[in-house]
Amino acid sequence: MDSTADPKGKRPLYQEDGLAYARAAAAAASATAAAAPDEEEAKPKPKPSSSSEEAKPEPEAEDQAEMPPLVLVAEDGVEVSISRRAARMSHMLRLLMEDSCADGPIPAPNVHSDILDLVVQYCEKHGPYYDPEASERARNPFPPFPVELTPTVSSIKPVTYVDPDPHGLKDWDKDFISLDNSTLFEVILAANYLNIEDLLDLGTTTVADMMRGKKPEEIREIFEIENDYTPEQEAELRKENAWAFED
């Protein structure tokens, strides 16, 4: 199905640019270490309120490139750098940057370096188009009760909602998330640890898609889940929620 001779096939051009950008930022940063501008620059620029729907022609790389990238340390000791713009996607890293605690190496003790590479790749790809204020508003505007809710996807959109995806991110995501199961779960855990909402949603919806429409036996087979119910327990369970097991 690949048209070009490029062995990566469906991977779009931007992927290489993203990592190259991060490495270039690291190189530039080491040269201009003394001239690092104020921490304020690292905060997301106040875009117009509807920015998530406008097509941004070019990501503004200039001011962010001057800030040194963050360094994350995986559980096996390997250091992975991530640009500040991409790091905004992680709530945890964003808080660290705002509190100016992000200058040294940041430990990610539960995450292997391969997984961390994948996560950074995702953030670098989505980073330029990410508006933290918009997603904050979408998730948590005025919580009336002090309840910790896990973020979910559902929100009602108008029926003819024009999904503005001018940068082809949805297709890139689809390629990105086609991983084997164990890697996928580790990415989900890493996204949870670093609190990257979008990647967490992407990973969990992918797993949900694998489970949708399948009977318990089929799900067990896909995910190699061992059925440790005794037949009596299983029968009792099915009776309890008989309406769901009508087949």
Cα gap 192→36, rounded to integer Å: 30
Pick out residues in 156-215 that bind other proteins (CB under 8 A): 156-162, 164, 166, 168, 171, 181-182, 185-186, 188-189, 192, 200, 204-205, 207-209, 211-213, 215
Among 37, 45, 49, 79, binds other proteins (CB under 8 A): 49
Residue 54 touching other proteins (CB under 8 A): yes
Stretch of residues binding other proteins (CB under 8 A), selected from 2-10, 18-26, 27-35, 125-133: 2-10
Stretch of residues binding other proteins (CB under 8 A), selected from 21-29, 38-46, 80-88, 152-160: 152-160
Q: Which of 187, 193, 206, 69 is nearest to 127 (CA)?
A: 69
Tokens found for residue 52: 């998530």
Residue 132 touching other proteins (CB under 8 A): no
Site map 88..117 versus other proteins, x via CB under 8 A: ----------------------x-x-----
Q: Select 37 or 245, whichever has its Cβ closest to other proteins.
A: 245
Site map 16..45 versus other proteins, x via CB under 8 A: ------------------------------
Residue 228 touching other proteins (CB under 8 A): yes
Give how far Cα 230 sits from Cα of 174, 190, 224, 227, 246, Å.
39, 35, 18, 9, 20
Q: Is the dihedral of CA 148, 199, 126, 90 positive or negative?
A: positive
Q: Select 70 or 190, whichever has its Cβ closest to other proteins.
A: 190
DSSP 26-83: HHHHHHTGGG---GGGGSPP---TTGGGS--SS---HHHHHSPPEEEE-TTS-EEEE-
CB 121 within 8 A of CB 104: no
Cα gap 11→13, rounded to integer Å: 7
Stretch of residues binding other proteins (CB under 8 A), selected from 23-31, 98-106, 127-135, 230-238: 230-238
- Beta-carbon contacts of residue 55 (< 8 Å; ≥ 6 apart): 164, 166
Q: Select 100 or 227, whichever has its Cβ closest to other proteins.
A: 227
